[in-house]
Structure 1
């Protein structure tokens, strides 16, 4: 009888819950108030920072737009306007491959961000104690992960698609369809990533690190297979007509009709096509069909997400947080002992802080899985880059090799800047919540920042150096170029680490627990933009003088206009400029970070 009463009471409580519509209205009011409060705080207390970030983002968008405009103008000049024989095939190949890549990235990023919002957030812990449906909590956190994971997609895709529309003189409905197509497309992979996250945590809470590692390894293997097949050319010249035909056939899987990326590409191509004199040919109607397909699938996965969230979230949350703790070992792990010996020149407290950060990095599958995926793919690319040289036997091969080697160096730097923004910049903000622990230790506050800086600089230098030297060996550049590249790589690691640590201490966010959201904020965006500018300036300061100097030496060309001595002086000044620029972007943010961190009260 008592059990029946408790069951009836429970059912009565369920019936008294607000309706789905009322619950949704309450959460939207909460989100609107939070957004308004954050914007008011930014424009009242951080006007300079906000205006700087917005200005740099606009400049970055315009730069991408110009780049895509020139690229599509070249393509249209080669294959013709929409309606030509090869235009649809060429542009569809570019669109489907581009959106397929972004589709996979959206799946991973949304799942990772949702994991932090649902299972490692104090706000979510509070929401679980309130009479709120589990599906509503999942939807509330999913909306945040959707925004933070897809803003990069809109930043990259919007200038490309607008530039394409201008180049091909697309009709007005192309731009009218554009927002709906992009939003509905981004919603589908983000919901898929969220569903995978919920199922993964509910089924294998104890093995999630192993599962994430296996998935990352599978992605690297699949990418390696694709790269190998694409570059495995025996009878066709690289970048020739036969090579393009073979590559087009090998990536045919990206144009499968069941993929959302294909729906988006076809919808854009149909909307950009002009109407013909055929009464049955209505491009705006065909594009509208693809928009309806994307919207209907987005709503379908939305319903599936709510159902899976209501079914699995609470049980997976309790299963993850109630698992049996492992028995702690007082002795230091072997990899930590090796790290300690490598840092023997540093003070003891700095060694321990670096070892602590390194241990946290190893224990976080989000960090090392992304590190494995991106650097693994770069290593596969560099390992196969010699195939390009095998098919280039003309007189310009030396100039081509020098250009590609510096482009590879810039790519490594840009990848490193994303990691310093994503993982190093939020370290100070995350440390602030447990700063009371560090405050009781017999160490100075400056030692904490020095530990973060040395951990980032030393930890990033080794993989970047290996990637750069692998690229140089495959391209068979001279030993002098290898030394210069390693020097630039070291400067990039020092500058990017100092910038991320310094700006992270100047602009901390102690209210947010998710590293992804901290990195996606104004401070993280500013750090990413400034890092990209620093990388481009560093590479340009050395690429041009190095290119002309070694071209002149190896080709034995001595010109009266630019003597060899002037080229050597130009190269030396470029290297000195890199040192000065690195010192500027390292010392200025770190000094500002030291001052801000000493005044910090938490």
Structure 2
């Protein structure tokens, strides 16, 4: 029976509350703490990591400029073709794009903020220290919630800002469009982040008693909703594929993303209204209409801010101690079935490497933060690949064959990009998280190189199995040729090996043993650098093989192909692209691992 914690009397509570500083003074102290931490980090980067900071800032700027150019050309195409059909159709098209984009990011922000808040609030030693200070519970929650907002929304700002600036530039928006933009983005990001924080606090309040039920129900709800949405979206007649009727039906099927109660819809309407030129119609006041949506978004963000503090005041301390004092389960001596399967699959590795890989595998499957994200993203991809069969009909048509090849390689690139986020989020921080128990590893009769190789094989093998299965499912659903299936499997193997080597190598070169949160480690310089380099590597590898393979298939079907599209020439081009991709994969795998082994061998903790 779980012992009950002693509850203070009303008199004791009154004395304790009366001895606390005022809300204003408490906020000032934590603001000074936040400012001191921020300035200390900036001074440390300027003094000891100038090259790293310059590289991250430079790559981020290049990434922003690349997205701006891409969105600029896209909106220019939409305005030039759709704008000629009337302002109403143009507004509907842009509303469809904005609503779909922001609604998807809205869901991601909810999960991201909730997961990050759990790691920084319930699994941090700093929280234990803050709870010993004479501060209010809601202040601790809000202090950690600020970090969750920052780490979960910086990617949203990086993706959304070039798109919105490009749209305003294309349609020649007035000045107040760009003035509203930062306030709209910040207030919008606050709403789903607050919802994620509320869900995290309420879930942790009841998690010790109903952990399996809560996680199981959440997984079932997400899978059912995603399956129904994808099924309705893809249930389109083949004759309407990419035609006017197809776009009309697609617009109607995504009507759930334009609900008037969604913050993403408020943001989309605010942006479209602010982008209209008031001088074209003196009676129209778009700045006023957009300002109303801005007030609506800001007021809801402030209301959710108060709700987060109110819930944190009432449930945080009880949920924290309830989670920390829950009775431990009796350990099982026998191995789980997944461990037995993994042991049989790793028969070729030395015993020490097998033990290290098994340790990382058990830590992964015992951490719901990791496997839940893995299950959600790859489960959604599985549902999508299982239903994306609309392109395989009428394969005698050359245009449809072109789309089949393009979609198959795009699916491969999507799998690679999602894999890059997982290697950055989970694989890169692995060695940094060993800092708390590094002294144990140092006492073991195990070479440090074995630790690095264990992390690498765990990442490469654990990522290759699901990724190759997803790519194979996509190819079989699209009914592509067996040559393309073989090329895709080879590319998938190269991506898994290269991304794993890059994440493990950079993680060993730039470890952060002071930080306990994997999300914060991944959001640092090394994690950002790993994510950018991973995206560039995926882009180069896919292009080296996708273009020659695509043209090779088209040349075999064309009656009179041009000289540069002759089958013999393209066969040589395809072979060269595969060899170049293999060489690039070897470089991005071997070079970071060698430097990581050298740095980890000389590391003193």
TM-score normalized by structure 1? 0.96
State the distance in 1 between where 2:337 and 2:446 align.
Answer: 25
State the distance in 2 between where 1:363 and 1:347 align.
Answer: 24
Which is worse superposed, 190-199 or 472-481?
Answer: 472-481
State the distance in 1 between where 2:338 and 2:566 align.
Answer: 52
The equivalent residue for 1:232 is 235
Shift, 1:331, TM fit: 2.1
Which is worse superposed, 218-227 or 177-186?
Answer: 218-227
Q: 8 Å contact 2:394–2:400 — kept in the other structure? A: no
The equivalent residue for 2:255 is 252
Shift, 1:279, TM fit: 5.2
Q: CA RMSD in A?
A: 2.0
State the distance in 2 between where 1:207 and 1:5 align.
Answer: 27
1:267 to 247, 270, 274: 270
TM-score normalized by structure 2? 0.96
Q: Is the partner of 2:500 in helix, strand or coil?
A: helix
Which is worse superposed, 232-241 or 28-37?
Answer: 232-241
1:500 to 500, 503, 512: 503
State the distance in 2 between where 1:558 and 1:116 align.
Answer: 58
Shift, 1:240, TM fit: 1.6
Q: Closer, same or farther in 2 for the Cα pair 1:22/1:552, shift >3 Å?
A: same
The equivalent residue for 1:549 is 552
Structure 1 residues 184-205: Cα deviation after superposition (integer angstroms, max 9, x where no partner): 1110110111011000000122
Q: Closer, same or farther in 2 for the Cα pair 1:4/1:46, shift >3 Å?
A: closer
The equivalent residue for 2:429 is 426
Shift, 1:388, TM fit: 2.7
Q: Quick check: 1:387 aligned with 2:375?
A: no
Structure 2 spans left out of the alignment, 5+ residues: 1-5
Q: Quick check: 1:474 aligned with 2:474?
A: no
Q: Where do 1:388-467 residues align within 5 Å? A: 388-390=391-393, 394-467=397-470
Q: Closer, same or farther in 2 for the Cα pair 1:305/1:82, shift >3 Å?
A: farther
Q: Is the partner of 2:335 in helix, strand or coil?
A: coil
Q: Is the partner of 1:449 in helix, strand or coil?
A: helix
Q: Closer, same or farther in 2 for the Cα pair 1:288/1:330, shift >3 Å?
A: same
The equivalent residue for 1:154 is 157
The equivalent residue for 2:76 is 73
Shift, 1:216, TM fit: 3.1
Q: Where do 1:299-318 residues align within 5 Å? A: 299-318=302-321
1:190 to 193, 203, 209: 193
Off by >6 Å, runs of 4+ in structure 1: 3-6
Q: Closer, same or farther in 2 for the Cα pair 1:595/1:416, shift >3 Å?
A: same
The equivalent residue for 1:35 is 38
Shift, 1:561, TM fit: 4.7
Which is worse superposed, 292-301 or 330-339?
Answer: 330-339
Shift, 1:4, TM fit: 14
Q: Quick check: 1:355 aligned with 2:397?
A: no
The equivalent residue for 1:582 is 585
Q: 8 Å contact 2:495–2:538 — kept in the other structure? A: yes
1:596 to 584, 596, 599: 599
Shift, 1:400, TM fit: 2.3
Structure 1 residues 465-505: Cα deviation after superposition (integer angstroms, max 9, x where no partner): 11111111122111111111101110100000000000011
Q: Is the partner of 1:388 in helix, strand or coil?
A: coil
Structure 1 spans left out of the alignment, 5+ residues: none
Q: For this pair of structures, how many residues does the alignment match? A: 600
Q: 8 Å contact 2:381–2:470 — kept in the other structure? A: yes
Q: 8 Å contact 2:391–2:403 — kept in the other structure? A: no
Q: Closer, same or farther in 2 for the Cα pair 1:327/1:38, shift >3 Å?
A: same
